[in-house]
Amino acid sequence: MKKITITDATLRECARRGDIALSFKEKLEIAKLLDKLNIDVIEAAPITDEKIDTLVLRTISPLLKNSILSCPVGISVEEANRAMNSIAGAKKPRLLVSLPVSAVQMEYFYHKKPAKMLELIQSLTAHCATLCNDVEFAAVDATRADKAYLFEAVKIAIENGAKTVTLCDTAGALLPDEFTALINELYEAVPAAKNVVLSAECSDALDMANACVFSCISAGAAQIKTCIGSEALPDLEHVMKALQVKGHTLDVTYGVNSMAINHSANLILGMTSDSHKGAASFGNSAAASASGVLLDNTADIAKVSKAIVSLGYELSEDDTAKVFDAFKEIAGKKQVGAKELDAIIANVAHQVPPTYRLQSYVINSGNLISSTANIVLEKGSRTLKDVCMGDGPIDAAFRTVEHIIGHHYELDDFQIQSVTEGHEAMGEALVKLRSNGKLYSGKGISTDIIGASIIAYVNALNKIVYEEKAE
Q: How far apart are CA 38 and CA 6, in angstroms?
A: 9
User: Is the residue at 284 inside a domain?
Assistant: no
Contacts of 199 (CB under 8 A, 6+ apart): 5, 7, 136, 138, 164, 165, 166, 167, 221, 222, 223, 224, 225
In terms of domains, do 326 and 447 share one? no
- 284 vs 274, 315, 367, CA distance in Å? 15, 26, 36
b (16+ CB within 10 A) / e for 79-92: bbebbbbbbbbbeb
User: Is the residue at 282 inside a domain?
Assistant: no
In terms of domains, do 45 and 101 share one? yes
pLDDT at 447: 78
pLDDT at 41: 98
User: Is the residue at 216 inside a domain?
Assistant: yes
Strands 2-3 and 252-253: parallel
List of the chain residues with pLDDT < 50: 275-291
In terms of domains, do 151 and 55 share one? yes
User: Is the residue at 285 inside a domain?
Assistant: no
Give the count of alpha carbons within 13 A of 459, CB side only: 23
Question: CATH number of the domain that 200 lies in?
Answer: 3.20.20.70
pLDDT at 369: 80
Q: How far apart are CA 232 and CA 255, in angstroms?
A: 24
Q: How far apart are CA 72 and CA 201, in angstroms?
A: 15
Residues in a beta bridge with 360: 376
Q: Which amino acid is at 10?
A: T
Write the pLDDT tens digit of every residue in 246-269.
Answer: 888 889 999 999 888 988 898 898
Strands 223-226 and 197-201: parallel
In terms of domains, do 362 and 338 share one? no
In terms of domains, do 336 and 413 share one? no
User: Is the residue at 185 inside a domain?
Assistant: yes
Question: CATH number of the domain that 388 lies in?
Answer: 3.30.160.270
User: Is the residue at 417 inside a domain?
Assistant: yes
- Where does residue 422 rank: exposed (0-12), middle (13-18), buried (19+ CB within 10 A)? exposed
**Sign of torsion, CA 302 307 312 315?**
negative
In terms of domains, do 162 and 248 share one? yes
In terms of domains, do 76 and 95 share one? yes
User: Is the residue at 287 inside a domain?
Assistant: no
Q: Which amino acid is at 49?
A: D
How many domains is the chain partitioned into structurally?
3
The model's pTM is 0.74
pLDDT at 151: 98
User: Is the residue at 94 inside a domain?
Assistant: yes
* CA angle, residues 369, 374, 377, in degrees to nearest 5: 165
In terms of domains, do 27 and 95 share one? yes
In terms of domains, do 372 and 340 share one? no
DSSP letters of 188-257?
HH-GGGGGSEEEEE---TTS-HHHHHHHHHHHT--EEEEBSS-SSS-BHHHHHHHHHHHHHHHTEE--S-
- Identify the domain boundary among 246, 277, 308: 277
Cα-flanking dihedrals φ and ψ of residue 38, to 5°?
Answer: 65, 30
In terms of domains, do 230 and 371 share one? no
Strands 427-435 and 438-446: antiparallel
pLDDT at 274: 52
Domain that holds residue 381: 357-470
> Is 232 in contact with 12 (CB distance < 8 Å)?
no
In terms of domains, do 200 and 318 share one? no
- Identify the domain boundary among 216, 248, 277: 277
- Identify the domain boundary among 304, 322, 348: 348
- 373 vs 24, 302, 362, 412, 455, CA distance in Å? 19, 43, 6, 21, 14
In terms of domains, do 169 and 207 share one? yes
